[in-house]
Structure 1
Amino acid sequence: MRRSRVRVLRQSLLMLLATVLAAAGALPARAAATTDWSVAVVKSTMQRFTPATIGGWSYPVGLYLYGQYQVYLRTHDAAYLTYLKSWVDRFVSANGTINQSFNSLDSMLAGRLLIILHHETGQSRYAVAAATIRHRLDSYPRTADGGFWHADTSSRAHQLWDDGLYMVVPFLAEYGKEFNDPSSDAEAVKQLTVYANHLQQPDGLLQHAYDESKTASWANPTTGLSPEQWCRANGWYGMAVVTALDDVPTNQPGRATLLTDLNRFAAGLQQYQDPATGRWFQVIDKPTGAGNWTETSCSSMNAYTLSRGAQQGYIDSHYAALAQKAYHGVLARLSIGSNGLTNLTTISIGTNVGNYAYYIGRTQATNDFHGLGSFLIMNEQLRTPTGS
């Protein structure tokens, strides 16, 4: 009995020591195994920013707050939802007017929060605001085969970027589910199919962008494709497919095509996952390229896609192990600083379409919202009940 008590006491002291060292900035996330890293990231971000200072209406903030909402669903900490609502209410009036032009797909991702708040509060103003985005899509410019342009501007005309799928497809799928709108479900599936038809390659992964006019500086004059497979663009795509499969009806026409495309995509991720770290490289299909580096946000996105896809039976169950390896690779990039706040490193900042040198030269930021949001989404999918 005495030995058992000594062993328990020793384990408790070791856990306490790990937590103290992590708080002092001496340990990475994986060493402090009992920390709830989702809660730690959310509390750190809420301490760094108020709803008024976290930023304007934008997709990176929208992504982060969607991740924060996932943590709320588990913890039921009302402060997390109140914070989200306070941010959204900066832009939505009492009658549902939202002062945004919605002339780019990027501007639509945060619309998911409108659907969330309608679901949580029942207030009609959020439905009115969400409908503003949905109706804008009815007149939004498209390629000849129906793909939404990345933006309704001369510099983005006729272009499809993988990024745009996550900006608009989850909104459509969730709008269809919340408001029983079959046209939104059909549109979500159509966009994923059109984009994949242009961008998905034989290795299962996607080129970053396609220009129907073939006039963009980066576009191949024959194919219209951009030259590289950027990792986060692929991460956006994977999460968009899984979200659509989760939310559109199981008898939705075109669903079988999405499953085929997702399985090809998962095989591509497996091919290029870094065996040493579990993460993926900034230019995903050139892991040995000079200057290439493993990037945190896309690794989180890919881990989520593989884990959720395997859990739901969309892809083979063996991909769950790849997701776990990626998950721990991302955790190695997370730590607690001397100020007690979390730091998530090696996140590519906002990125346009470019060549190899452009992608590997992007700033590697700490606590960028692309990384924080995707981390929370991943962590809520993969965390264990006792920690991480």
Structure 2
Amino acid sequence: MNLRPSRVRFRCTAAIAATLSGVLAAGLAAGTSSAATVRPGPAAAAPADLSRAVIDSTMKRTPDPAKLGGWGYQVGLFLYGTDLVYQRTHDAKYLNYVKGWVDHFVSSSGHLSNSFNNLDSMQAGNLLILLNQQTGQAKYATAAAQIRKRLDTYPRTPDGGFWHATSKTNQLWLDGTYMVVPFLLRYGAAYNDATYADGEAAKQITVYGSHLESPTGLLYHAYSLNPISWADPTTHHSSQFWCRSIGWYGMASLATLDALPKTDPHRASILNTVQQLVSAIGRYQDPATGRWFQIVDKGSLSSNWTETSCSAMYTFIVAKSVALGYVPAADQSIATKGYQGVLAEVATDSSGQTHVKNICIGTNVGDLSYYLSRPRATDDFHGLGAFLIMNEWMQGNRAG
């Protein structure tokens, strides 16, 4: 699935970005859709609807959704983005593709053979709720309830943060917030469980932030109460600002703000964290490409590189924060430049398939050299899913 850039003959990447840039500059600040008016020149062969092109190309490579991979957040993220496009287009092939993957794991009675002993395994639960709403089939609600009930006994740090996995005692990874918080919020809204779900989501965002926020506005990747090689013995957090982990947290924080009433006691602190994060995102944006670096604050290192999945996430975070009035309207320029930078990593091959390049593969917690040496893939689901979420928002789709 993960094609390396050297194995794919790309063409016209720069032309795609250049063709769209004028439309973006004029239309994105107002939050209007420009997809219908984009007409790339024939040399670029760029699709007018890049979201559909990314999904259609993936479907062509893997016609049977059951072969996308095991139950997990990477495929879940991509299919969540696919469902966003279904909500916009109402094209049944996208819903059927999502359903085909989920049905490979969910029995007719709604049972999922999964112990849910890590937060990563919970992210795809969003698809269960969406499919229940979109198809009316009760088995998906039954399966979603398995994840919700698991949280009743899931292990926590002394201050209430969900461990990243039952095997990672007293560890909090920023990644985990996006794996569980949007599911919780969606479950609460769908099944009359919002009192618990919203409160729990706010608590998780707050607890994670309390251990991982830095004065720069960025957040460290992970925290461990117990001694471990990557954690500072005094602060207990890891040493680096890994770009995608911060993106996960930012998106989860925005989802939480969507759900919380203005009177919620956690809201002000979460909003402040988002505002500080957006400020940092703007400060560390690469002026040359508009993207963001694998290690966010070390762009001057020759071994550092701009990573596409986090760049898509940051673009989404800033654009949504502007649209909701959380940050000044002038910050839209950060998102516009970020969008253009991500589009420059989208390419069309000689067969007409669309690809997304320079995506960091799945990553644990480590030191500087570990993050910088992570392999860069093309069409990795981390990047495809993040691209779809970003692109749908930037083109005016506010679904989900």
TM-score strictly above 0.5? yes
2:60 corresponds, among 23, 41, 47, to 47
Higher radius of gyration, 1 or 2: 1
Contact 1:149 1:158 in 2 (8 A): yes
Q: Taking structure 1 as reference, are residues 270 and 170 closer, same or farther at Cα in structure 2, changes over 3 Å only?
A: same
Distance (Å, rounded) in 1 between the aligned partners of 2:211 and 2:396: 38
> 2:225 maps to which residue?
212
> 1:202 maps to which residue?
215
Contact 2:162 2:172 in 1 (8 A): yes
Distance (Å, rounded) in 2 between the aligned partners of 1:58 and 1:47: 21
* 1:37 partnered with 2:22: no
* 1:169 partnered with 2:156: no
Distance (Å, rounded) in 2 between the aligned partners of 1:243 and 1:184: 12
Distance (Å, rounded) in 1 between the aligned partners of 2:366 and 2:175: 14
Q: Which amino acid aligns with 2:72?
A: S
1:207 deviation in Å?
Answer: 0.3
Contact 2:163 2:169 in 1 (8 A): yes
Q: Which amino acid aligns with 1:43?
A: D
> 2:131 maps to which residue?
117
Q: Which amino acid aligns with 1:146?
A: G
Distance (Å, rounded) in 1 between the aligned partners of 2:136 and 2:91: 19
Distance (Å, rounded) in 2 between the aligned partners of 1:311 and 1:293: 29
> 1:378 maps to which residue?
390
Match runs of 1:281-360 below 5 Å: 281-360=293-372
Q: Which amino acid aligns with 1:161?
A: W
> 1:13 maps to which residue?
none
1:65 corresponds, among 79, 82, 85, to 79
**TM value normalised by structure 1:** 0.90
How many residue pairs get aligned? The number is 359
Distance (Å, rounded) in 1 between the aligned partners of 2:11 and 2:216: 40
Contact 1:278 1:328 in 2 (8 A): yes
Contact 1:186 1:253 in 2 (8 A): no
Instruction: Give 3-state SS (helix, strand or coil) of 1:138's partner.
Output: coil
What are the Cα deviations for residues 127-152 of structure 1, in whole angstroms up to 9, with x where unaligned? 11111101101110000100000000
> 1:192 maps to which residue?
205
Question: How big is the alpha-carbon RMSD for the aligned residues of Structure 1 and Structure 2?
Answer: 1.4
What are the Cα deviations for residues 67-118 of structure 1, in whole angstroms up to 9, with x where unaligned? 1111111111110011101111111111111111100000000000011111
**TM value normalised by structure 2:** 0.87
What are the Cα deviations for residues 330-382 of structure 1, in whole angstroms up to 9, with x where unaligned? 00000110121111111000000011111010001100000000000000011
Instruction: Give 3-state SS (helix, strand or coil) of 2:172's partner.
Output: strand
Structure 1 gaps, min length 5 = 1-23
2:234 corresponds, among 219, 222, 235, to 222
> 1:152 maps to which residue?
166
Structure 2 gaps, min length 5 = 1-8, 21-38, 40-47
Q: Which amino acid aligns with 1:30?
A: A
> 2:117 maps to which residue?
103
> 1:183 maps to which residue?
196
Q: Which amino acid aligns with 2:162?
A: F
1:383 deviation in Å?
Answer: 2.5
Distance (Å, rounded) in 2 between the aligned partners of 1:369 and 1:43: 14
